[in-house]
Structure 1
Amino acid sequence: MSNSTSETVSFFILGAYLNIGYLRYLYFMITAMLYIVIVVANTSLIVVICVNRSLHEPMYLFLCSLFVNELYGSTGLFPFLLVQILSDIHTVSAPLCFLQIFCLYTYGGVEFSNLAVMSYDRYLAICCPLQYNTRMTSHKALIFIILVWLYCFVKFLIPLSLNIRLTLCGNTINGLYCSNYLVVKLACSDTQVNNIYGVFATALSILVTVLPILFSYMRILRVCFSGSKQTRQKAVSTCTPHLVSLLNFSFGCSFEILQSRFDMSGVPCVLRIILSLYFLIIQPLMNPVMYGLQMSKLRNICKHVLCYKLLAGGRNTVTESCEI
């Protein structure tokens, strides 16, 4: 389809894929391994948190929501990437493209909102330890989680419905996957309503996510500077994984914004690809490993479950050998 036409677009062409010949099989194996690791790591921690009642506390419920979101975002990307890597023609139908846009953008919204709620939870635990059990119960945590998911899904349904109605003058997306901004760039109809809602959604995101995070960490820092050494150690051990996760995801989203909105032709192609995929790959890989290692209670239960399975497997092997 020519870029000068204004016909109804039924499919999009992904223009960022290169002709890599037999290397596609190597990239396919690497991508498949990454997806398997993400699924196994996040699913294992979700199961551990759900099965063990001792982990049915607000902090671990928020972590469970975070791990579910990592699975959700990864599933919106990796199967699509695997198909495209092995394909000779890199096209995607318009409905599937808009579905992927919805999945990836709601994933980003849930990630930020979940991290914002977690920062408030950490603020209560550090700054109001005596009131924590009454101000943040498991029931309230579940309500927060439901609101986070509903808010992000509803918030992005509006721009998605606006984008679907746009008249497009092309169907070539210069990316590895479907991007909301890159689709809007193809529009030859009026996008004023889209732009207005974009500004409103950005302001709302700052109000709902950025301000609570800044408020929480400002109060935590104040307590750290005025509190005892034990308080500072507790704050560092509690907030380090959350802060690392937050900064990593923020940097990854910044890379994607730069990649999609500015001319990056001077940057090597491989680096551009890495920057566009960074927040969709590194975050789901890093969070389960980081939280699983940093949270002592979660780490100990994971060790106990793993050791129990190994011992059970060893006993079964011995029993089978005896029966033989």
Structure 2
Amino acid sequence: MSTSPPEFEARQLSLPKPLHTASPHVAALLYDPISRSVALRHSDSSFSLYPSFSPLSTSSFPPPQSLVPSPTSSAAFLHLRTAANSTTTTLFLVSSPILRPSSTFLRFYILRDDRFARIRVVSSHRDLEFDRTKFGVVFRVNHGVSMKLTGGINVFTLYSVSNSKIWVFAVRLIGDEGGGEALKLMKCAVIDCCLPVFTIRVLFGFLILGEENGVRVFPLHPLIKGNHRKEKKNNGKRHNLKNGFTNAIDVAKASSGGKTVGTDGDLNMLPAKGEKHSDSVKLRSLKLRQDSKDVGAFFVAFEDKNVESSISTTRRSVKAISIQALSANYFVVLDTLLEMYTFYPFLVLSKD
């Protein structure tokens, strides 16, 4: 069988000129490979949205189909999928500060007919309220200096640097009273951060935090379902990135009751549109500390701190600043040490 590497193609794209926004500069670009959508963030923090954009078929950006007004503090693409329907629904989510009273504002845009449009949101939590005048959700939490969003399948997280907390939300598509569409927003877990967090990803059924000297892994299933289970000891087995490999995800599945995720990382735990609300989705949020070993959480270290080294005592700490999934079985972690970068690939779902 041939094992030749896959072929890649790169193409240079010209940014739109003039831009259809008050801000002429592009500060960042977000790309969603599932829907092939692009979000351009401008210097005034507004966004231009381009659904179904193919960089291989064009050399320049057309006029944007949708605009997200400023101010915004963070943004992420989010996808909805159920076990009954394999069709993926794409959402674009943005956060913004509210000054009086100090709160966080969340806006959801759903991709329909090659266009992103705002969608109504309902929630049973007292600190989440849909504002009809602004067409978004007021989250009664102080916005602070920085909010960071990250999205996955049916789940997204909101990290507040000022509050040192990570909120885990589940989202599902429902029918509203008028026969249209709405989003059901459920606050599932709150993680109190006691250690610095440099990056957060929701990947293939796991919440992964980039920290100093490694990453911390939370299986999402017990966070969403509220199964507050103690981590199994696994016969005292240690887990680190020695030689770049570990079977960490096997341990996570065993600790969370053997729950597995789909081949594409789909949690497949939320009811589809029109289905009755599942009693297993708790309205009371699960609360735990970042360094807790409950719900099967554990830390995956870059190196064994017990090994004495003359170099390790003088060099600065290693920080995990980026986490990417190559597939459901492989992840790549990028760290920074003395302004240098190292890739740490680690193998999952394989036995020793």
Q: TM-score, normalised by structure 2?
A: 0.23
User: Bigger radius of gyration, 1 or 2?
Assistant: 1
Give the helix-richer structure, 1 or 2.
1
Give the strand-richer structure, 1 or 2.
2
Whose RCO is larger (CA < 8 A, sep 6+)? Answer: 1
